[in-house]
Amino acid sequence: MKLQRMEDILSGHPYPGRGILLGRSADNEKAVVAYFIMGRSENSRNRVFEKTGDGIRTRAYDESKMTDPSLIIYHPVRRMENCMIVTNGDQTDTIRDFLAKGECYVCALRSRCFEPDPPNYTPRISGVLLGDGSYKLSILKSLDGDPSCNHRCFYEYDNPIAGQGHFVHTYQENLDPLPSFEGEPRRVVCDAPDAKAFAELLWKHLNNDNKVSLYVCYAGLRDGSLDEVILNKHA
């Protein structure tokens, strides 16, 4: 698979929707995590990320303008003892609950499917970063917009390459209805020196009209340190 740069992917796509990137820093010392949300409707754009005790959550920027919290208010990132879970919906909690019981993330996601938002049937994308820096990505999506068929795709990366990662997002193109992501997670460059630099690069190349919030974390593989950045369009 071709190695791509995130700025090229994002600059050429005005609405990838929500995106997850997991990878390894160029110095091979840190795991790289990025998650962003975008929006075309007022309800979707009316959000910010904020830190919680075990990760981040979305919340309404202006509570008076929130019309429907379902599917847009959730915990995108939750940390557990030896892993970090990153998703685009409340399946974050499903994965956490299954792992807490000693079950696997695949079992957790077999209990879920794409989002109930016709006609888009937005994919559920999920990632699990383990303490050793290995990671897993998945996507649950409809068959070309047909809700009668749910596709569950799982990808595992045991020994990440320094300076590289994998990126998955929800929408293939900015159309109506929105078509689901196609193919395997994109193989991408992760050569920014720290979370701030990588966040600035991603934020710069996300479409200015549609970007809403971004989270980036560089997690130390030896010491467990967390270098975290949150950027919100509604500062």
pLDDT tens across the length of the chain (235 residues): 899 999 999 999 999 999 999 999 999 999 999 999 999 999 999 999 999 999 999 999 999 999 999 999 999 999 999 999 999 999 999 999 999 999 999 999 999 999 999 999 999 999 999 999 999 999 999 999 999 999 999 999 999 999 999 999 999 999 999 999 999 999 999 999 999 999 999 999 999 999 999 999 999 999 999 999 999 999 8
Which two three-digit tokens encode residue 141?
């999506």
132 strand-pairing partners:
none
Q: What residue type is assigned to position 63 of the chain?
A: E
Distances (CA, A) of 112 to 54, 109, 126, 185: 23, 5, 11, 20
Say what the alpha-carbon torsion angle 11, 203, 37, 145 is, to the nearest 10 degrees: 10
pLDDT of residue 99: 98
DSSP state of 134: -
Specify the 3-state DSSP secondary structure of 197: helix
pLDDT of residue 235: 82
pLDDT of residue 90: 98
Instruction: Using the Cα atoms of residue 25, residue 191, residue 34 and residue 200 in order, give the sign of their dihedral.
Output: positive
The pTM of the full predicted model, rounded to 2 decimals, is 0.97
